[in-house]
Amino acid sequence: MARSWTRLHEYLGRPPGPLTYDMVSEAVQRKLAESDDLDWKEMVPGEPKVKGEWNEFSKDVAAMANTRGGLLVYGVSDAVELVGVNLNEIDDKKLGQWLRVHLQPVVTGVSYLRLPATDGSGKDVFVVDVPASETAPHFLYGWQQKDKDKTTFNAPYRHRDDTAYMPEHQIAASYRARFARQDAAEVALDKHVRHTTDLLSGESDAPTAWLVVVARPTRPLPRTVPAPTRAEVQWVISQSAKRADAALNRAVPLRRLLGPQLLLGLLDNNPSRGLRRWMETNMLVPARASGRQRVLVELHHDGSVITAVDLSHYAIPGLVESDDVAISCPALIRSVFESVALAHEYRLVLRADSPIDLRAVLTILPEADWNRLAPAVIELGGRLAIAEWARHPRKVQPADGELAPFIDDEALAAAATELAEGLLHQFGMNMLGD
């Protein structure tokens, strides 16, 4: 899935949306100059004739990924004239293989767009959309005859309308930037978790088990991006419930035992404004308080999503434990899947194309050293009961995961399963409760 906002969109004054042949044709007619995120290419490079030979295509992709991402548009000459390419001669799989063989680390998330001519000219266009990479710098290995058969291992990058190679100090700066992004992401995730648990502490009179899931784009949207509307947020919430059900059908054979929608099913889908975010909850506002299980959803304008659900309050009616805090494992699984689906659908509405870092935290609030978490599972007859054979820990480590940029229901189910089992394994059980 290609990005919906590119240099061509900006230049032509088009709103976010798919890149089209007409947009490329108009940009060529208006002689749009090359830049660090746009490179006109007359033809797709052929496969190297000798193993280990320099791969021009891989170099161009790495240069874009090492800078800020961009478009490689094939079928346009250096003079910015539409000359076209033969789309039947282009093998997407072969291009992807070149990237895996010639680049270290490999550049992921590259999209290939075939744009047949719509003006009757027969001059088709092939576009390679390269996202900005979170794992830069990317190095290209090979040898070039123009360098007197010199074998090189360089990190290309775009400098205005040209491709150059990073000197040592620039490579070092690129690595520092990568590590800084990783550290910043870790700090941001922890900050969201702390803010949410502080908020929930004021809502918990007795020791209560809360599941908090934080989803944060690796490249959060800047403040200049317009905030989503209430209607868009309502659509996200309703669509996420369907997406979560589809993912659960793939991951849990006996999904019906998990019960009805939990996190999203307990909301009225009437979000209210917050601090650069939309909030939906059945607590905090006295007029909206109910006897239902307490939940909280925050959809931040930068693309972050925070969910919280009480897994112990009303989760196991009539079950009394002296010191342990019982949690419903089926409710935990469903809540994780709904949270991941919510993050995915919100990203689509915002047209964000970066991966999403996931963190799930299971904690007792208010904190007490003597309480243990007691997992409850579904026994024969469909009733919830404490799993005495499972571990009852005092604390559970956070579970981390990642949601790739462009995924289907199967990949979403895999990401949600990994996150849920990251918590369940600490009780000595898996998704099926054994």
* pLDDT tens digits, one per residue of 119-136: 999 999 999 999 888 889
Domain-terminating residue out of 166, 201, 223: 166
Q: 220 with 360, same domain?
A: yes
Q: What is the pLDDT of residue 259?
A: 56
Q: Using alpha carbons, list the distances in angstroms from residue 141 to 80, 171, 197.
A: 30, 15, 48
- Predicted confidence at residue 380, as pLDDT, reads 61
Who wins on pLDDT, 204 or 309?
A: 309
Least confident stretch, 142-156, 376-390, 397-411: 142-156
- The pLDDT tens digits of the residues spanning 331-355 come to 899 899 999 999 999 988 887 777 8
Mark whether 189 and 159 lie in a shared domain.
no
What is the per-residue pLDDT for 406? Answer: 66
In a domain, 234, yes or no: yes
In a domain, 433, yes or no: no
Q: Mean per-residue pLDDT for 76-93?
A: 94
Residue found under tokens 């040898």: 143
CB 230 within 8 A of CB 336: no
Number of folded domains that form the chain: 2
Tokens representing residue 245 in the block = 């059900």
In this structure, the answer to whether residues 198 and 335 fall within a common structural domain is yes
* 56 in a structural domain: yes
2 pLDDT band (50/70/90 cuts)?
low
| 135 and 211 fall within a common domain | no
How many CB atoms are located within 10 Å of the residue 183 CB? 10
Contacts of 383 (CB under 8 A, 6+ apart): none
For residue 237, what are the contacts with CB-CB under 8 A and spacing of at least 6? Answer: 264, 267, 269, 271, 280, 297, 342
pLDDT-derived band at 408, boundaries 50, 70, 90: confident
Place 1 in a pLDDT band, splitting at 50, 70 and 90: low
Least confident of 32-41, 141-150, 167-176, 381-390: 141-150
pLDDT per position as a tens digit, 154-177: 899 999 899 999 999 999 988 988
Give the model's pLDDT for residue 254: 54
The arithmetic mean of pLDDT across residues 88-101, rounded, is 91
Would you place residue 381 in the very low, low, confident or very high pLDDT band (cuts 50, 70, 90)? low
Q: What is the pTM of this model?
A: 0.67
Mean pLDDT of 372-384: 76
Is the pLDDT at 56 greater than 70, yes or no? yes
Give mean pLDDT, residues 277-306.
Answer: 83
Question: Is 325 among the domain residues?
Answer: yes
- For residue 48, whether the previous peptide bond is cis, meaning omega lies within 30 degrees of 0, is no
Q: Are residues 300 and 156 in the same domain?
A: no
Question: Does 154 share its domain with 49?
Answer: yes
Q: Is residue 111 part of a domain?
A: yes
Contacts 24+ apart (CB under 8 A), 403-408: 403/215, 403/340, 403/343, 403/344, 403/347, 403/355, 403/356, 403/358, 404/109, 404/355, 405/1, 405/109, 405/131, 405/353, 405/354, 405/355, 406/1, 406/109, 406/111, 406/353, 407/344
Q: How far apart are CA 73 and CA 91, in angstroms?
A: 16
Residue 107: inside a domain: yes
Q: Across residues 267-288, what is the average pLDDT?
A: 83
CATH number of the domain where residue 24 is located: 3.30.950
| pLDDT interval class at 194 (50, 70, 90) | very high
* Whether residue 159 sits in one domain with residue 79: yes
Q: For residues 350 and 393, state if they share a domain.
A: yes
What is the residue-averaged pLDDT of the chain? 85
Residues 275 and 158 in one domain: no
**Strand spans (E) along 13-101:** 38-41, 70-74
At 210 the pLDDT is 92
- Please check whether residues 295 and 351 belong to one and the same domain: yes
For residue 321, pLDDT over 90 is answered with: no
In this structure, is residue 179 part of a structural domain? no
Give the Cα separation of 295 and 310 in Å (integer).
Answer: 6
In terms of domains, do 150 and 202 share one?
no
DSSP 325: E
> Does the pLDDT value for residue 257 go beyond 60?
no
For the ranges 144-148, 295-299, 400-404, which has the lowest average pLDDT?
A: 144-148
* 204 in any annotated domain: yes
Domain that holds residue 397: 185-427
| Listed residue (426, 255, 431, 214) closest to 339, CA to CA | 214
29 and 123 together in one domain: yes
Residue 362 confidence (pLDDT) above 90: yes
Mean pLDDT, residues 293-299 taken together: 90
